[in-house]
Amino acid sequence: MGLDWQELYAERFRFSQESPLGNVLRYGELPDMISLAGGYPAAELFPAEAFREAFDRVLATDAKVALQYSSAEGYLPLREYLVDRMSRFGIKSSPEELLITHGSQQGLDLVARLFVDPGSLVVVEDPCYVGGLQAFNSYEARYVAIPTDEEGMQVDRLEAALVDGQLHPRLIYALPNFQNPSGSTLSLSRRRQLLELSHRHRIPILEDDPYGELRYEGKKLPSLKSMDSEGNVIYLGTFSKILAPGIRVGWVVAPEQVIRRLLDGKQAADLHTSTLVQRATYEVCRQGLLDGHVAKMRPVYRRRRDAMLRALTEQFGSGARWSRPEGGLFLWLQLPHVVDSDAMLQDAVAEKVAYVPGSAFSPSGEKNSAIRLNFSSSTPEQIEEGVRRLTRVASRWQEKLAEGKGPALRVNLARAA
Amino acid sequence: MGLDWQELYAERFRFSQESPLGNVLRYGELPDMISLAGGYPAAELFPAEAFREAFDRVLATDAKVALQYSSAEGYLPLREYLVDRMSRFGIKSSPEELLITHGSQQGLDLVARLFVDPGSLVVVEDPCYVGGLQAFNSYEARYVAIPTDEEGMQVDRLEAALVDGQLHPRLIYALPNFQNPSGSTLSLSRRRQLLELSHRHRIPILEDDPYGELRYEGKKLPSLKSMDSEGNVIYLGTFSKILAPGIRVGWVVAPEQVIRRLLDGKQAADLHTSTLVQRATYEVCRQGLLDGHVAKMRPVYRRRRDAMLRALTEQFGSGARWSRPEGGLFLWLQLPHVVDSDAMLQDAVAEKVAYVPGSAFSPSGEKNSAIRLNFSSSTPEQIEEGVRRLTRVASRWQEKLAEGKGPALRVNLARAA
């Protein structure tokens, strides 16, 4: 007889569920499935040849260094390249203020590790990026969940929550551009207001910006980091959406003293990010491929977004509403409030279409009637067919519920913006 | 004026020092320095061409998948390969019991995350691998530090500590083969005794085995994992020492239910290990390169170890003692007890030789008179010259101390085995 492992686990694991995304993403591998679930970039756009040449060059000329251990902060030329690139977007930094991470998910983990004690309050958007919740849950955070609308986090509500000085959040987590999952973008006036709150209440902001360069219409808004006069903002960037996620390279920008402590966390977490991958990524970047590559991606993704919006308009009946993202990979579909989008998923999978139920993005984990739809990794034709299938399933559910036959959603929906 | 960041950090960071290794490893980059400090494998032995061909093949034939997101548990063919390879060493497992990590340091982090609450007790060897201490410190562990001798952890002492049932450690952390930093190997009888304690007191063992294949003499001993009849052992393996550390690929073997929770931690930590690197590593492995490669490394490292032992014997005076490792990368040099090896390091660096002071490996962080010497990353000539320089510095310190001039070490040295 073996150990009772369950009783040996740390508190942070005893009450947590298994990851909400794991199973959903696996549906994408089933035959004939149209998966609108993942957050995958379009694989056919990956600059495969550029990577092939880059790895070849690095391994032909510099293998002894590239295959060896290296320092936790990351490859200096890559950090210098990123400092320079970000300066074009108004973010001033130095290589000492930048740390290379194993994807931006690791940036979330390292920042949570540095700021979150068990029970610490973290301000999050509701709905919130699931990876952010997973990172904060690892350190037993509690949440101040602020609803979002088409202009992003409702900062007024945060202001109201902070006004009496009773709450002392350790961190404000914000994904201002084309938020995952809602697709909404924080307006300029709310950006100013959020920074003002950060300064007044002395709360750092963690700005997560994986999609900032993927804007398909409308005017580019400045990042919180670039607007911040007091150095309160920690910024997360990643190559996952502008180059390729399979390499796992992201970065954190923060004041140098914060980077030094994040470095201690990085060493404890995994010593450093792959020396070889960092060098090859730098090879890909230094030839100036990135701007042209992103310029090629935007119209493709825009067409896919448009196809999804069109299909929803043409096919979805009354009672459903959806966001109209100006960029990014996702939109947020709000079904009639009685539909439990977790329960409906099995039917959708039977109909060969997959999505992520809104509960995955709920800071409290409660079930709801929203779903996240991805439009970057399917063709316009697949999207149209996927939405058609989804419409069939949703209509069936609405009818069943109208006849009093189905399991109606019975949770508090006040938070649904 | 900016934030007072220091007061915002989580408890786990407020009292911890900056990483003890960062600066020491940087000495290796100074001109004419002979660094015996790092734990670096010999870069001239890296199978650079095999990696070059592997990355080229993967990117030429399978880039769309290799550059995309993938699942947290890792690439199935690589897991199957590792299951098969480990079975040759007596470790029975299945792909569902194996998780690919971003180096084995991440294995340490994920296991600590799963088992360690603030204040939890972890049994460690004293001296202990510094990366293990960093991982456990991240989760605010306290230590039951068990001294080591030439047969590894003094398991009798652990038995005595556990006998009255007052201590309830969450985990026993052991590095049984050619331990980092001591170079000692846990004897077969102590392996049996340690497993017996694990079974009787129901404490899981975390077996860290980066050097097991690097034995230069003596009889190979079975791993704790292979001897364990009750499934109490979690095993960490890595490609860092048998292939290359710059790729950052390691693995964890554990009961399937434990792997499932480690997977939740892995997703929160960094989603998954680089898809591309896993596939290329598998390409390198599946052609059967590994056995021949390790067979090539052993005699090279053995010569370097022999050179270091010979130089120490020829040059070091009385009062110093050192371990005689049968494998691995390190030996442990015990200077006369009044010498503070932290204080002596500056003199050594001025003399152009670097080492890691024993305090880095002390669970309590206390200064002591031991130093860790690496023999894998320098040629026999460099090792001979490095030991010569070290001897000069140490002699000078002994003389100064004998004359009452230097700062003698004033800490409790009872733990020095």
Q: How many CB atoms lie within 10 A of CB A81?
A: 17
Question: What are the tens digits of pLDDT across the range B226-270?
Answer: 999 999 999 999 999 999 999 999 999 999 999 999 999 999 999
DSSP letters, B164-184, are: TS----SEEEE--SS-TTT--
A chain contacts of residue B117, beta-carbon cutoff 8 Å: 10-12
Greatest Cα pair distance, chain A, in angstroms, is: 70
Say if A256 is an interface residue toward chain B (CB within 8 Å): no
What percent of chain A is modeled with pLDDT above 90? 87
* CA–CA dist A383, A306 (Å, integer): 10
| DSSP one-letter code for A15 | S
* CA–CA dist B381, B111 (Å, integer): 40
* CA–CA dist A198, A205 (Å, integer): 7
Intra-chain end-to-end CA distance of chain B, in Å: 51
Say if A223 is an interface residue toward chain B (CB within 8 Å): no
Say if A225 is an interface residue toward chain B (CB within 8 Å): no
Confidence of residue A411 (pLDDT cuts 50, 70, 90): very low
A chain contacts of residue B96, beta-carbon cutoff 8 Å: none
Inter-axis angle of helices B104-115 and A256-270, nearest 10: 90
B chain contacts of residue A131, beta-carbon cutoff 8 Å: 267-268, 271
Identity (one letter) of the amino acid at B156? Answer: D
CB within 8 Å of B313: residues ≥ 6 apart: none
B chain contacts of residue A200, beta-carbon cutoff 8 Å: none
Confidence of residue A199 (pLDDT cuts 50, 70, 90): very high
Q: Do B116 and A267 count as a contact with CB atoms less than 8 A apart?
A: no
A chain contacts of residue B113, beta-carbon cutoff 8 Å: 10, 12-13, 138
Higher pLDDT among residues A285 and A28, named by residue: A285
Identity (one letter) of the amino acid at A114? Answer: L
Write out the E strands in A184-225: 205-208
Give A405→chain B minimum CA distance, Å. 36
8 A C-beta contact, residue A339 and residue A397: yes
* Mean pLDDT, rounded, for A153-171: 96
Say if B90 is an interface residue toward chain A (CB within 8 Å): no
Q: How many CB atoms lie within 10 A of CB A230?
A: 12
* Mean pLDDT, rounded, for B142-156: 97
| Partners of B98 in beta bridges | B253
Query: What pLDDT was estimated at residue A412?
Result: 41
Q: Do B274 and A277 count as a contact with CB atoms less than 8 A apart?
A: yes
Say if B265 is an interface residue toward chain A (CB within 8 Å): yes
Tally of helices (H runs) and strands (E runs) in chain A: 15, 14
Chain A, nearest residue to B244 by Cα: A67
- Asked whether the predicted pLDDT for residue B338 surpasses 90, the reply is no
Query: What pLDDT was estimated at residue A399?
Result: 86
∠ Cα B339 B343 B346 (to 5°): 125
- Asked whether the predicted pLDDT for residue B213 surpasses 90, the reply is yes
**Which ranges constitute the DSSP H helices of A271-415?**
275-286, 289-315, 341-350, 380-402
Confidence of residue A17 (pLDDT cuts 50, 70, 90): low
For chain A positions 271-290, those within 8 Å of chain B (CB to CB) are 271-277
Higher pLDDT among residues A83 and B24, named by residue: A83
Query: What pLDDT was estimated at residue B133?
Result: 96
pTM for this one? Answer: 0.95
Q: How many CB atoms lie within 10 A of CB A410?
A: 9
Mean pLDDT of chain B: 93
8 A C-beta contact, residue A140 and residue A118: yes
Q: Do A115 and B44 count as a contact with CB atoms less than 8 A apart?
A: no
Query: What pLDDT was estimated at residue B283?
Result: 98
CB within 8 Å of B184: residues ≥ 6 apart: B148, B149, B150, B151, B152, B178, B323, B325, B332
Closest-CA residue to B310 (of B299, B322, B300, B318):
B322
A chain contacts of residue B66, beta-carbon cutoff 8 Å: 246
- Asked whether the predicted pLDDT for residue A403 surpasses 90, the reply is no
8 A C-beta contact, residue A229 and residue A258: no
Query: What pLDDT was estimated at residue A408?
Result: 65
Query: What pLDDT was estimated at residue B415?
Result: 37
A chain contacts of residue B72, beta-carbon cutoff 8 Å: 19, 22
* CA–CA dist B223, B242 (Å, integer): 17
Nearest to B59 among A52, A106, A115 (CB): A52
For chain B positions 153-182, those within 8 Å of chain A (CB to CB) are 170
- Which of B11, B18, B24, B69 to probe by mutation at the A interface, max A CB count within 10 Å? B69
Closest-CA residue to B139 (of B157, B165, B120):
B120
- Asked whether the predicted pLDDT for residue A379 surpasses 60, the reply is yes
Query: What pLDDT was estimated at residue B408?
Result: 65
8 A C-beta contact, residue B35 and residue B377: yes
* Mean pLDDT, rounded, for B123-152: 96
- Which token pair is A389? 């299938």
Q: Do A268 and B116 count as a contact with CB atoms less than 8 A apart?
A: no
* Strands lying side by side in the sheet with A250-253: A98-101, A250-253, A233-238, A205-208, A171-174, A121-126, A142-149, A152-153
* CA–CA dist B183, B355 (Å, integer): 15
Q: How many CB atoms lie within 10 A of CB B408?
A: 15
Closest-CA residue to B151 (of B189, B204, B181):
B189
* Mean pLDDT, rounded, for A115-139: 96
* Strands lying side by side in the sheet with B250-253: B98-101, B250-253, B233-238, B205-208, B171-174, B121-126, B142-149, B152-153
| Partners of A330 in beta bridges | A374
8 A C-beta contact, residue B111 and residue B255: no
- Which of A51, A249, A270, A273 to probe by mutation at the B interface, max B CB count within 10 Å? A270
* CA–CA dist A107, A262 (Å, integer): 9
- Asked whether the predicted pLDDT for residue B296 surpasses 70, the reply is yes
* CA–CA dist B138, B124 (Å, integer): 15
Question: What are the tens digits of pLDDT across the range A290-346?
Answer: 999 999 999 999 999 999 999 999 998 778 999 999 999 999 999 987 889 999 999
Query: What pLDDT was estimated at residue A414?
Result: 38
- Which of A115, A116, A256, A271 to probe by mutation at the B interface, max B CB count within 10 Å? A271
| DSSP one-letter code for A17 | P
Burial of residue B249, with CB atoms counted within 10 A of its CB: 0-12 exposed, 13-18 middle, 19 or more buried: buried
Query: What pLDDT was estimated at residue B400?
Result: 84
* Mean pLDDT, rounded, for A189-213: 98
Say if A231 is an interface residue toward chain B (CB within 8 Å): yes
- Asked whether the predicted pLDDT for residue A417 surpasses 70, the reply is no
Question: What are the tens digits of pLDDT across the range B40-71?
Answer: 999 999 999 999 999 999 999 999 999 999 99
A chain contacts of residue B1, beta-carbon cutoff 8 Å: 230
What percent of chain A is modeled with pLDDT above 70? 95
Confidence of residue B409 (pLDDT cuts 50, 70, 90): low
